[in-house]
């Protein structure tokens, strides 16, 4: 029976993989050269000359007068057996970037990546790095060449993508040094060029956030509430089962997430958490839970097949975006909802640590990545500082006075 096309493809891929693994390791077998050499004391010695890493080396076998040629040859064979064993597994100093990537780096890195990270990172590495450096010798890639590559990419790609490419190069070369494929690591000196484009990260104001929620039907409105007010990721929302939600709907636990139809662990160790639910969200969630199957394993947001959860792209592109576009908010996707949760919370002085714990990441990420201060908050801060300086009052006194005037009004 002829093998299927799929089996033939897998067989070909396995053959190529094994060929790469063989290529990234050199196998040099040598016997060495046994010689008789006179030392400075004019004593004759059996000396073995051999090569190690491209360099000539010498090993002293013993005194010529006390060792026959056959004994010296036997000692030679024993010593060269050890040398050849080391050489059989030694890294190839002439390996190309592509062979190292396919034979060593990616197999190792995949072992620590989550599926979501693997899909995006490996695609980026292959599309940009492998396409550029695949045929070049790994040892020949220096700082100037790598930095020129990043500078070129900075003219066409966002700052975020260029920064990730820099991180990818650092991970690859760090592994190459650890495994002995290169003697120096140029990657730590790389930097993200100033020419890299910084994308506009939009957030909604309070009025837009209200319009966003009110435009949606019940199911999508519950999802909107959980993203906007509870700070949850879409994969966390869509992976919810009845057993994860408290009976009064005032809290829920994040134990898993949905990624492209598969249930996976939460994104990071901080992502596994208990989320507090505000009263307005608890009300709409309670209304929706009355329509969910009663079994503990039932999906809170099931697809047409009740045994499977909704996919993120389906719920956004089929059910949310078309409705929101009529309200002029089709741009406000799940990423915007997450930034809006952080930014509006910052404006009303929600404790940064509490907000970070609610969203399931570190406080540095909370402030640097997701939080954007509004123009109103910036203007108020600037005015408070100006008034404090011009009036001679301390900033705290000026702020207290402003709050008192606001309360009196």
The CATH number linked to 175 is 1.10.150.130
One domain, residues 223 and 330 = yes
Both 260 and 348 in a single domain? yes
Domain presence at residue 84: yes
Instruction: Identify whether residues 282 and 341 lie together within a single domain.
Output: yes
3-class secondary structure, 206: helix
Angle between helices 218-228 and 334-347 (to 10 degrees): 50
**Coil vs helix vs strand at 247:** coil
Do 347 and 282 have their domain in common? Answer: yes
Asked whether residue 162 falls in the same domain as residue 243, the answer is no
Strand partners, 184: none
Which pLDDT belongs to residue 113?
Answer: 84
Q: Which domain holds residue 173?
A: 97-189
Tokens of 130: 């492998």
Strands (E) across 209-358 are located at 251-254, 257-259, 262-264, 273-276
**Dihedral over Cα of 93, 94, 97, 102: its sign:** negative
Q: Specify the pLDDT at position 40.
A: 66
198 in any annotated domain: no
Domain harbouring 334, CATH code: 1.10.443.10
Residue 18 lies in a domain: no
E strand spans, 176-330: 251-254, 257-259, 262-264, 273-276
37-83 per-position pLDDT tens digit: 887 667 888 888 888 766 788 888 988 888 898 888 889 888 888 87
Does residue 354 sit in the same domain as residue 236? yes
The span from the CA of 24 to the CA of 29, in Å, is 16
**Shared domain check, 236 and 103:** no
The last residue of a domain, from among 88, 115, 130: 88
Cβ–Cβ under 8 Å, residues 91 and 179: yes
Is 11 within a domain? no
Instruction: Give me the mean pLDDT over the 381-397 stretch.
Output: 62
Q: Whole-number mean pLDDT of the chain?
A: 83
Calculate the CA dihedral of residues 204, 207, 211, 214 and round it to 10 degrees: 120
Q: Are residues 217 and 330 in the same domain?
A: yes
Look up tokens 């909604």; give the residue: 204
Is 229 contained in some domain?
Answer: yes
Of 16-25, 153-162, 261-270, 272-281, the range with the lowest mean pLDDT is: 16-25
Q: Are residues 254 and 118 in the same domain?
A: no
pLDDT in tens, 72-112: 888 988 888 887 766 655 566 678 999 999 989 999 998 88
In a domain, 129, yes or no: yes
Q: How many domains does the chain have?
A: 4
201 pLDDT above the threshold of 90: no
Closest of 103, 180, 102 to residue 139, by C-alpha: 180
How confident is the model at residue 152, as a pLDDT?
Answer: 94
Q: Name the residue among 148, 122, 153, 120 with its Cα closest to residue 136.
A: 148
**DSSP assigned state of 318:** I
> What mean pLDDT do residues 235-246 have?
95
Shared-domain flag, residues 118 and 161: yes
End position of a domain, from candidates 164, 189, 214: 189
Residues 282 and 270: beta-carbon distance below 8 Å? no
Examine residue 196 and state whether it is found in any structural domain, yes or no: no
Please say whether the beta carbons of 384 and 398 come within 8 A.
yes
Task: Choose the final residue of a domain: 189, 223, 238.
Answer: 189
Distances from the Cα of 327 to the Cαs of 164, 227, 336, 339, in angstroms?
A: 35, 19, 16, 20
pLDDT, tens digit (0-9, with 9 covering 90-100), for 101-148? 998 999 999 888 877 788 889 999 999 999 999 999 999 999 999 999
Residues 224 and 348 in one domain: yes
> Does any domain span residue 3?
no
- CATH number at 75 reads 3.30.160.390
Q: Which of 243, 273, 236 is nearest to 258 (CA)?
A: 236
Whether residues 245 and 351 share a domain: the answer is: yes
Give the dihedral of Cα atoms 161, 193, 136, 170; nearest 10 deg: -70
- What 3-state DSSP class applies to 300? coil
For residue 47, give the H/E element and its range: strand 44-52
């Amino acid at each position: 029976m002829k093998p299927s096309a799929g089996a033939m493809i897998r067989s070909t891929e396995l053959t190529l993989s094994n060929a790469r693994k063989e290529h990234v390791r050199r196998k040099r077998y040598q016997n060495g050269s046994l010689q008789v050499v006179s030392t400075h004391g004019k004593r004759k010695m059996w000396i073995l000359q051999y090569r190690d890493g491209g360099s000539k080396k010498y090993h002293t076998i013993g005194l010529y007068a006390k060792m026959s040629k056959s004994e010296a040859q036997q000692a030679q064979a024993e010593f060269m057996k050890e040398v050849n064993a080391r050489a059989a597994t030694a890294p190839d100093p002439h390996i190309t970037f592509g062979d190292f990537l396919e034979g060593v780096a990616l197999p190792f890195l995949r072992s620590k990546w989550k599926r979501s990270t693997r899909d995006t990172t490996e695609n980026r590495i292959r599309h940009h790095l492998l396409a550029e450096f695949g045929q070049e010798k790994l040892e020949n890639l220096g700082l100037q060449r790598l930095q020129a590559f990043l500078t070129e990419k900075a003219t066409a790609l966002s700052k975020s993508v260029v920064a990730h490419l820099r991180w990818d190069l650092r991970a690859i070369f760090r592994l190459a040094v650890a495994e002995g494929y290169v003697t120096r690591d140029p990657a730590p000196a790389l930097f993200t060029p100033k020419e890299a484009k910084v994308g506009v990260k939009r957030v909604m104001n309070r009025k837009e956030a209200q319009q966003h929620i009110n435009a949606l039907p019940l199911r999508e409105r519950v999802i909107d509430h959980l993203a906007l007010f509870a700070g949850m990721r879409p994969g966390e929302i869509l992976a919810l089962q009845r057993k994860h939600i408290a009976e009064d709907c005032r809290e829920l636990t994040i134990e898993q997430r949905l990624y492209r139809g598969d249930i996976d662990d939460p994104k990071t160790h901080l992502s596994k958490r208990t989320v507090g639910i505000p009263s307005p969200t608890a009300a709409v969630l309670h209304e929706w839970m009355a329509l969910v199957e009663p079994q503990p394993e039932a999906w809170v947001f099931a697809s047409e097949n009740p045994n499977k959860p909704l996919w993120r792209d389906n719920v956004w592109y089929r059910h949310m975006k078309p409705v929101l576009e009529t309200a002029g908010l089709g741009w406000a996707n799940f990423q915007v909802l997450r930034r809006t949760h952080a930014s509006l919370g910052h404006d009303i002085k929600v404790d940064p640590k509490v907000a970070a714990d609610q969203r399931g990441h570190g406080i540095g990420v909370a402030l640097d990545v997701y939080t954007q201060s509004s123009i109103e908050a910036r203007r108020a801060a600037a005015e408070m500082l100006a008034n404090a300086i011009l009036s001679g009052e301390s900033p705290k006194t000026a702020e207290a006075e402003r709050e008192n005037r606001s309360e009196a009004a």
